[in-house]
Structure 1
Amino acid sequence: MQSTKRSDIQLRAINLEIDMVLDSPSAVMTHLQSNPLRLLIGGELVEGGQYAPVIDPATATECAIAPIATATQLEQAISAANAAFPAWAATATKERRRCLRVFAEVLESNVAELAAILTLEQGRPLALTRVEIERAAMLLRAMLTIDIEDEVLRDDEGGRVVLQHRPLGVVGAIAPWNVPIGLAVPKITHALYTGNTIVLKPSPYTPLSTLKLAELARDVFPRGVFNVINGGNDVGAQMSTHADVAKITLTGSIATGKRVVASSASTLKRLTLELGGNDAAIVRKDVNLEHVAPALFGAAFVNSGQVCMAIKRMYVHSAIHDELVERMAAIARDTPMGGGFTPNVKLGPVQNQAQFDSVLSVLKETKADPRARFVVGGSAVDKPGYFIEPTIVTGLTQGARLVDEETFGPVLPVMRFEDDDDAVAQANAGKYGLCASVWSSNIAAAQQVASGLVAGTVWINRHVGVDPLVPFGGMKESGLGRQFGKEGLLAFTETRALYCPPGA
């Protein structure tokens, strides 16, 4: 198969902008039918062993088909990555950095196409999927500023000791359906910048944009360094047990993370797991309600609540509870919901049937609880697709499923508290520990509250967002290890101490 040159990639992007405006589901579907997607294995774009439908969550109907990798094709991808590893590991950091900068250029020059495909398969409004692609490129570039070179720990009459950071080998990366490109690109960057090769598996619910990215970036890296396959849980399980996969990086549920830990134990794989987050926000009585209500709503209902770090529980001081709830409910009533290609839409659907059913199950159980008060929402929208009204529920306490579990949909329970210690105790209850936030006009008091929260990230007067230079990850059952920052990058390496004689 003849390879595509970098200039051809750029020209294709330019021609797409000129010849086709991808501003409707039908336009994107036609584009995909004319440009069928394939797997990327060892630098070659190959047909899948079989094909599976991809569902548009805004209509609950098939919008495309995606190739599925066979077990043999996964073996081929891992073999290609394994064969490419020695040369890529020996490649100078400067050259790996250059390749990744070209990868960022591919993202930026093809943002219109990638965002349109992403909106079709994931459901989020087009303006927001464009932001996802652009931000992925920004995160990538920022991470390349982090120094991962060897460190001299000692150089004296006793000798010279160098701390080396050696790449691990083949990284198996498993990305989720809620933010497909935004969560895949950092995994690619972590793995390749540190000298590893990668086999990336997107979610079978949202494989299209990732497969398109693989096609566009086919010639950015040497053959075998970057591989993209597609498939279900069986493919992920095969990667987790494979002897030639040195590390698994996963963003997913706690249940999936536990399965990966168990299946990877036989080979003692290195793991970076970013898992569920039933994130708490504590709102003290001294806040400016006019300012915080929109910010809290946005942080709770971003991507229709389908973000691991979104606010999933809110604890509000009793003195302001009712007013804040009513302000947020008013925002919910005025927030337009619909398909991602519809102008001015702010909230899209739940991404897939299984998650839609799960959220509705939680709502049904909550409605049976006599304590629960549905201030706004509470039902599926009477239209095609997986739409659920933005919902705010009060009156619950710990022990209710909506409070204790991560619903991962547009549903927010709001609880009362009387003092800071009470709020911290409620927020810390349960198995989750990904993120939390404290909202207050008294920063010193907010810092004191934050110091008691058990979470990997705690914000004051904001919630949601990562800094690529700052480690991110969860405590308790919300994950293992960290992504981003130097700590996140070095988790994709093995530390080795090299002792040299004096004068070396």
Structure 2
Amino acid sequence: MNFDRDYAMLIGGRLEHGSARFNVLNPATENVIGSAPNATRNDLDRAIDAAREAFPGWAATPIAARKAALVAMGQALMAHADGLKRLLTAEQGKPHADAEMEVMGAGYWLMGAAHLDLPVTVNEDSAERYSETRHVPLGVVGAIPPWNFPLLLAMFKVGPALLAGNTMVLKPSPFTPLSTLKFGELVKDILPPGVLNIISGGDALGPWMSSHKGFDKISFTGSTATGRRVMESAAPTLKRVTLELGGNDAAIVMPDVDVENVVEELFWAAFRNNGQICVATKRMYVHEDIYEPLKDALVAYAKTVKVGDGSEQGTQIGPINNEAQYARVVDLIQDAKDKGYTFLLGGDAVDVPGYFVPITIIDNPPEDSRIVQEEQFGPVLPLIRFDDYDDVVARANATEYGLGGSVWGKDEDKALAIAQRIASGTVWVNETQHLSPTAAFGGMKQSGVGVEGGLEGLLEYTNAQTIVRKKQPA
């Protein structure tokens, strides 16, 4: 396949290959699988100008037509799921089955967002006046999704932003740009030119966007540290921001669970997508009455899971996506080894090509350890004993993060009561990671600003405008 031909930016309805390119690696092999355009400042300016030019017409387009465009884009993703999943696996690393679920989920998210409507609130309808509040689009949105779910998390932004009447410049991660660029090729004729522009580039492109005066809003998903920089650079122009940031999600496992029946779900709560999920279980608090049997069951199940190249049949967990994140996970494991913590599984480097880290489970490290306090974003899980519910809730909440969490137990009322005490934007009971385009998702504390999904997420792409009309006397 000719990668230079097949992967181009979308600017003003035209595919452009750019004046420079950068290589994209397969994290399972570290081999170059293709190249993407490396956008210049001029490319960014032109993309913003195209979005600005398209904005009045798109904002004036009836919402029913905007909904139809979202549905058509979702259908295009689903229709090309087979090719997109292979491309996504090649650049991200996840197994084909997971990649297909992401592609289909991205299509579902666009189609689900089309079920939302912008509300109009009547504030007063009296003999003297009529007052209503409606919601109008912001203008041009800059969207910056991450590399762990490049297509799905991009659609978290594309769907509501375009539905609300905004236009967009979308920038995929430099680690995973190809599937998003291919998406641009698939949908370029569905939308009017300039409504959706997709540009790729290196580390400089994101800061150019967050500081650019041409954007009315930046929607960013990524680490908390980067989110702070995005907010800082957006401040001089008072851009609106939505920031979906890091998490250190706690799972609390009550003593009445059926260990045999719950172990598989608990494992994948932590290790799905190789732990590279913002709402993955990052620390698991297990009641002491079942700590030993659950520990043994998790280790036994983990040993049955195949880790390898996502393109190989039977692979369930792929590599870490990129070298920088690989180094961070390895450093956390080394810190745990240096501190003398007990490893139930894993912990040793794998001398093979690719960014592979073995499934690693650590036995009851101290609460103040790095592996408990930091977000690992990789296949490393600390198991931690508890025997008091007030204490475990306090420990679960003793973090700068507040993205997600979960509580597991047969007594659903008791589990729900504990879940309601967790200081996180989403808390699941007896499941995890279930998200919906019709439900709000966002973080508390340092896990973010604003929400995505649902009516609340849609309204983040609008300004509230109140119209007051004084009635003429009879």
Q: TM-score range, shorter-chain basis?
A: over 0.9
Q: Which runs of 4+ in 1 moved over 3 A?
A: 32-35
Question: Structure 1: how far apart are the matches of 2:119 and 2:61?
Answer: 13
1:72 is paired with a residue whose SS is helix
Unaligned runs of 5+ in 2: none
Alignment of 1:185-200 (within 5 A): 185-200=155-170
Q: Deviations over 1:55-96 (max 9, x none)?
A: 100111211111110111001001110111111111110111
1:366-410 C-alpha deviation (Å, 9 max, x unpaired): 10112x110011123232111111110012122211110001000
Query: Residue 313 of structure 1 aligns to a residue in which SS?
Result: strand
Pick aligned residue for 1:178 from 121, 144, 148: 148
Distance in 2 of aligned mates of 1:486 and 1:244 = 26
Instruction: Give the structure 1 partner of residue 34 of structure 2.
Output: 64
| Greater Cα shift, 493-502 or 258-267 | 493-502
CA RMSD, 1 decimal: 1.2
Residues of 1 paired with 2:331 and 2:407: CA distance? 30
For 1:6, the equivalent position in structure 2 comes to none
* Matched ranges for 1:391-470 at <5 A: 391-470=360-439
Do residues 138 (structure 1) and 96 (structure 2) align?
Answer: no
Kept in 2, the 8 Å contact 1:117–1:209? The answer is yes
Counterpart residue number, 1:94: 64
Give the superposition deviation at 1:146. Answer: 1.4
* Residue identity matched to 1:427: A
Choose the corresponding residue for 2:455, options 464, 486, 492: 486
Q: Distance in 1 between matches of 2:171 and 2:93?
A: 20
Alignment match, 1:164: 134
Distance 1:107 1:32 in 2: 21
For 1:420-442, what per-residue CA distance to the aligned partner results, in whole angstroms no more than 9, with x for missing partners?
A: 11110111111010000111111
- Contact map agreement 2:4 2:35 (CA 8 A) in 1: no
**Residue matched to 2:290:** 320
Partners of 2:409 and 2:310 lie apart in 1 by 34
Residue matched to 2:244: 274
Q: Cα distance, 1:186 vs. partner?
A: 1.7
The separation in 1 between residues aligned to 2:471 and 2:115, in whole angstroms, is: 32
Q: Is the 8 A contact 1:53 1:64 kept in 2?
A: yes
SS in 1 for 2:91: helix
Q: What are the residue-to-residue correspondences of 1:236-315 with 2, within 5 Å?
A: 236-315=206-285
**Equivalent of 1:499 in 460, 468, 474:** 468
1:346 to partner: Cα distance: 0.4
Partner Cα separation in structure 1 for residue 229 and residue 100 of structure 2: 33
Q: Deviations over 1:248-304 (max 9, x none)?
A: 001100011000010000011111110001110000111111111110001100000
Give the C-alpha shift of residue 232 in structure 1.
2.4
Aligned partner letter, 1:490: L
Residue 283 of structure 2 aligns to a residue whose secondary structure is strand
User: Could you tell me how far 1:32 is from its partner in structure 2?
Assistant: 4.6
Deviations 1:12-48 (A, max 9, x none): xxxxxxxxxxxxxxxxxxx353843111111111112
Q: Distance in 1 between matches of 2:428 and 2:336?
A: 29
Identity of aligned residues (%): 45
Give the CA deviation at 1:169: 0.5
User: Residue 421 and residue 226 in structure 1: after superposition, are their counterparts in 2 closer, same or farther (change >3 A)?
Assistant: same
Q: Distance in 1 between matches of 2:390 and 2:137?
A: 45
What is the alpha-carbon distance in structure 2 between the residues aligned to residue 229 and residue 34 of structure 1?
A: 15
Amino acid of the residue matched to residue 350 of structure 2? V
Structure 1 CA distance for aligned equivalents of residues 472 and 360 of structure 2: 69
CA contact (8 A) 1:277 1:309 kept: yes
In the alignment, the residues of structure 2 paired with residue 93 and residue 105 of structure 1 have an alpha-carbon distance, to the nearest angstrom, of 18
1:126 maps to: 96
C-alpha contact (below 8 Å) 2:451/2:460 kept by paired residues: yes
Secondary structure of the corresponding residue to residue 101 of structure 2: helix
**TM-score, scaled to structure 1:** 0.92
Q: Which of residues 43, 53, 73 is equivalent to 2:43?
A: 73
Q: Paired residue for 1:383, among 352, 373, 396?
A: 352
- The residue type paired with residue 474 of structure 1 is G
**Residue 199 of structure 2 corresponds to residue 229 of structure 1:** yes
Q: How many residues were matched structurally?
A: 473
C-alpha distance in structure 2 between counterparts of 1:492 and 1:49, whole Å:
33
The letter for the 2-side match of 1:439 is W
- Out of 309, 324, 347, the residue aligned to residue 317 of structure 2 is 347
Cα distance, 1:235 vs structure 2: 1.0
Deviation of 1:323 (Å): 1.1
Instruction: Map Cα deviations across residues 181-207 of structure 1 (whole Å, 9 max, x no partner).
Output: 010012111110000000000000000
Kept in 1, the 8 Å contact 2:302–2:359? The answer is yes
What does residue 16 of structure 1 align with? Answer: none
Structure 1, unpaired ranges of 5+? 1-30
* 1:367 partner amino acid: K
Amino acid corresponding to residue 134 of structure 2 in structure 1: Q
Amino acid at match of 2:338: A
Q: Given the alignment, which residue of 177, 182, 185 partners 1:207?
A: 177
- The 8 Å contact of residues 360 and 379 in structure 1, kept in 2 or not, is answered as no
1:353–1:161 Cα change, 3 Å: same
- Of the structure 1 ranges 156-165 and 484-493, higher mean CA displacement relative to structure 2 is found in 156-165
Aligned to 1:337: 307
